Amino acid sequence: MAFLLYLSMSTEWSINYKGNELVLKDGFLIAYQLLLFEEIEWNYGSSDNELNEFKIILLNDTATIYAGWWGGIDFTSLSEATINKLIQLTDSIIQKARNSMNYLTASHIYRSCKEAHDYLISSGKSDWIFEFDSAELIYGDEQLPIENYSHAFHLIKLLMMGTLKHSDINGLLVG
C-alpha cells in the first residue's frame, strides 16, 4: 500500500486531551503528526526533554496508524507549558500551509515521513520498523487540499486550548 495513497483513506483515529476527544480521518492526523515532529525539530531540536519524549511517542503512533493499527495522540500527560508550545507550533503549521504552495504537498509529507522514520530508527526507541521506498510516492508535488488540512489542524489546536465545540467540526474531516 503506497503511503500517500493511504493519506486519502478514511480510517479514523482520535486525539484526546483533558477528557475531550477529537476523531479525525487518518490522513489529516498522519500529516499533522509528521509536520508537528518537523516543527519540534526545527524550533527545539533536542533542547526540551518533555518534547523529546513526546516526539518518540508521536512518531511511534504515526507508524501505528500507517500500519493500520489503532492509533491516536493523547496529550493528557504533557505539562501546560508543553501544550502551549504545541499550540504555537500548530499555529506555525497552519500559517505555513496557507502561505506556502510547497509546504502542504504530497512530496513534502513523504519527505517528512522519511525523516521521521530515520529519526525513530536512530533513536533506538522504535516500536515499529518500516522501510519507505521513493517508488511509493505517487502524487509528486500535488498540493493537498489546504483548507481541509488547515481546518483539521485548527481543530487539534482548539482541542489543546480546551475550546473545541461540536459546531467547529466539519463533516469532511470526520466520519
pLDDT band at residue 56 under the 50/70/90 scheme: confident
Evaluate whether residue 14 is within a structural domain: no
Arithmetic mean of pLDDT, 119-129: 75
Q: What integer pLDDT is reported at residue 4 of this predicted model?
A: 34
Evaluate whether residue 33 is within a structural domain: yes
Evaluate whether residue 175 is within a structural domain: no
Q: What integer pLDDT is reported at residue 116 of this predicted model?
A: 84
Give the whole-angstrom CA distance, residue 48 versus residue 158.
Answer: 23
522504535: which residue's cell?
A: 126
- Interior/surface letters 112-123, b for 16+ CB within 10 angstroms, e for the rest: bbbbbbebbeee
What pLDDT, in 10s, does the model give residues 6-22?
344 456 667 778 878 78
What pLDDT, in 10s, does the model give residues 160-174?
998 988 777 765 555
Evaluate whether residue 47 is within a structural domain: yes
Evaluate whether residue 157 is within a structural domain: yes
Evaluate whether residue 16 is within a structural domain: no
What pLDDT, in 10s, does the model give residues 98-107?
999 889 888 8
Q: What integer pLDDT is reported at residue 174 of this predicted model?
A: 52
Evaluate whether residue 173 is within a structural domain: no
Split into its structural domains, the chain has a count of 1
Arithmetic mean of pLDDT, 86-107: 92
Evaluate whether residue 174 is within a structural domain: no
Edge-to-edge strands, sheet with 20-25: 20-25, 12-17, 72-74
